[in-house]
Chain A
């Protein structure tokens, strides 16, 4: 065997798990992102008194696949004056950054995608921030005014809000004392409470900042449809556009995962240490079984035979997964009662399966909040966005880091009760927030009067 072959084989032997994981991410995440889009459209339709996609598959269940096929077979257009190489590269960067950062995320105690990096959170933040590069380059390379304005807005927005989001994460990290994703969740297990209850303000700041980082409404200025047509994506179409789009939704999953890990207890079920709530472990199986029952109920109401069959298939799929979730628990219970001793124990899969369920449920809830806000709120203007970022969120995040530190000092050095320390410092933080908001209101009042009087002598939006 030649040395080159030998080194390749060695490489594969060392890294095969990561390589397989990478392939899985590339294969699964776009599909998941596609279905997140479908869920979003359905939710939007529900809130807007209409039905949403109904044509492709029962209740539009195959719509993402139809969309993907349509985008794949579209003509590939590159504008004449575009910088071809960068135009080609930009969406790839965006997509790659979003997918790579998924690699470090843990969906269950032993269900990590790649491996536990000891600076996991830092890795996720750093790599997902690289996605910004794709947006900026795409806007630049398109050689279009709308694109460049969109890219410009995007840069300013992401830089500002990542500062606030990063500081919010620091509060969480203070509580956990580690950067490793697994250790952070374990710390929440040990402290018997999710960090969202210990650092509510930090969670809120991270929520707002993550909406801005993912360019979602009400902070979707880089692609504000009514102003910039599609912002940095204006000149993109077909598959390149799909890459941007999927990157954006994958990014949503990433920020939701980070929030879940850091603040919402990761894969822990609610109240992981409360003994009499152990029945919650049966939730995953029951939940899926309920979905299955509902599908059967709906199957009777489908107009076309094939849709009836499809609903039955969905129901059977749900039941199958429910059995997978429920069987190990069932065997475990039987063993504790001394029954079915001949069956092997499946206990080793219970934490993984349940962990994945709770983790994904929390991620889904977080993304639901994103969507809910999008359908409810109007869009901020650019200067307002910057004001909120620099005058409210960042100062508040700094104060909050300080407050969390003080709370920990009070708890560990002065021996205060944990909740007392928490309440005192949170009140302090909220008082700061109220002060900042008042200050901001007064400033904008002055600023808008200035606009009316002297045509645009407000604070510079790009000063950051």
Chain B
């Protein structure tokens, strides 16, 4: 009897479903995502995501820029992980040119990209915790992120949209004391990460809010194309850094954390562990940065032979792929980006079904989307 009343509350009371419009201006849709929620009481019965509020036509712009000119644009897609975007693009064009960055450039690229992964995960952790109501971790996370951004600023002058890499290698040599800065950050970060763990990991409210919320099975993840920490939290050990090593990842020892249940708590644990592993990669990399040039032989004017290329990397949010078609001119014929946020967002509807409104924000948070990348 009781079960029935609960399940069909709306029909019994003769009440309609409530359509709640979340966004595009809403404190916790992480930008300009708009979600239409069909609610029965507070329980979600259906969702509809409306995207495109931040569409800037990045892919179209590429067709009217030379290969070098387009490189800064990719930083504006996932703007909290600009370095990773740049790495993917530069490597894709290098692959198209059959060129390769010199070893020194690859190691520095790896260090910066791993720092960027930590920074991106810190933004995720802070905002995710804020969505669930924990106010304080945000400030701790941004305090650490600031250290990373300072390293970026010292390296290339920009903090967010860095354009740190060039096709063929690096434009800037690592500044004096680069290794020391990275090492100092990595050493302090270990105790800092313990602060988040103290605040959240064992907290029964946090566990209650994240355990069994937004469960995705491994099959669901693969069917939906979800990648990155979301896929790994469901128990699939798939990380392009190991599966198809790029940059200098094949030289370093690191673990791929995986979850078992595929719920929000597992995704939290996976990302926390990824931050620790990134720290270890950075520490290994600064130990021995090879000497040598930082720019490979690619020439001033890039004219790849007609053809096409797909290159993907493991960005902080998942698999970031670039598909580039060249017609033999200095401008790409077509650039298509496979953005992890956009693909992961597809899982939203499946994850949210039957949950409460409060879980919706937890699930948006755990998806770790950046609307700049979803809409491009």
Contact = CB atoms under 8 A, between A and B. Distances in A.
Interface in B198-240: 199-200, 203, 205-206, 208-209, 211-212, 215
Given A383-B356, A449-B212, A460 B134 contact: no
B113 to A, nearest CB: 27
Given A145-B18, A226-B133, A377-B203, A49 B143 contact: yes
Interface stretch (A19-27, A76-84, A110-118, A450-458): A450-458
Interface string B294-331: 00000000000000000000000000000000000000
A217 B212 contact: no
A145 B20 contact: yes
Interface string A218-247: 101100111111000000000000000000
A275 interface: no
A228 B358 CA distance: 9
B6 interface: yes
B361 A460 contact: no
Interface string A26-59: 0000000000000000001001111000000000
Given A48-B136, A145-B20, A224-B358, A459 B6 contact: yes
A451 B132 contact: no
Contact of A461 (B5, B21, B42): B42
Interface string A373-386: 01111111111100
Nearest to B21: A145
A334 B255 CA distance: 76
A224 B7 CA distance: 25
Given A149-B20, A226-B27, A461-B42, A377 B205 contact: yes
Given A451-B355, A456-B43, A460-B6, A226 B208 contact: no
Given A218-B205, A461-B41, A461-B42, A227 B357 contact: yes
Nearest to A45: B139
Contacts of B41: 461-462
B28 interface: yes
A379 B208 contact: no
Interface residues of B, number: 47
Interface in A195-220: 217-218, 220
A48 B130 CA distance: 13
B135 A460 contact: no
Nearest to B40: A456
Nearest to A221: B358
Nearest to B365: A226
A227 B358 contact: yes
A221 B209 CA distance: 13
A104 B131 CA distance: 39
A227 B135 contact: no
A378 B133 contact: yes
Contacts of A381: 208-209, 356, 358-359
Interface in B323-376: 353-361
Nearest to A459: B6
B3 interface: yes
B320 to A, nearest CB: 27
A146 B2 CA distance: 28
Contacts of B355: 451, 456
Nearest to A220: B133
Q: Chain B CB within 10 Å — which of A47, A375, A457, A460 has the most?
A: A460
A225 B353 CA distance: 22
A380 B205 contact: yes
B155 interface: no
Nearest to B129: A378
Contact of A457 (B7, B21, B134, B359): B7
Contact of B136 (A47, A449, A456): A47
Contact of A48 (B135, B208, B353): B135
B139 A50 contact: yes
B140 interface: yes
B11 interface: no
Interface string B24-35: 001110000000
Interface string A158-170: 0000000000000
A380 B362 CA distance: 12
Contacts of B42: 149, 153, 382, 461
Given A226-B361, A376-B136, A457 B200 contact: no
A448 interface: yes
Given A377-B133, A379-B209, A456-B355, 20 more contacts: A49-B143, A217-B135, A225-B28, A226-B28, A227-B28, A227-B357, A227-B360, A375-B136, A377-B203, A378-B134, A380-B133, A381-B356, A384-B208, A451-B212, A456-B6, A457-B3, A457-B7, A458-B6, A461-B41, A461-B42
Closest 10 pairs (CB-CB, A-B): A379-B133, A455-B354, A456-B354, A48-B139, A226-B28, A448-B212, A378-B134, A226-B131, A378-B133, A460-B6
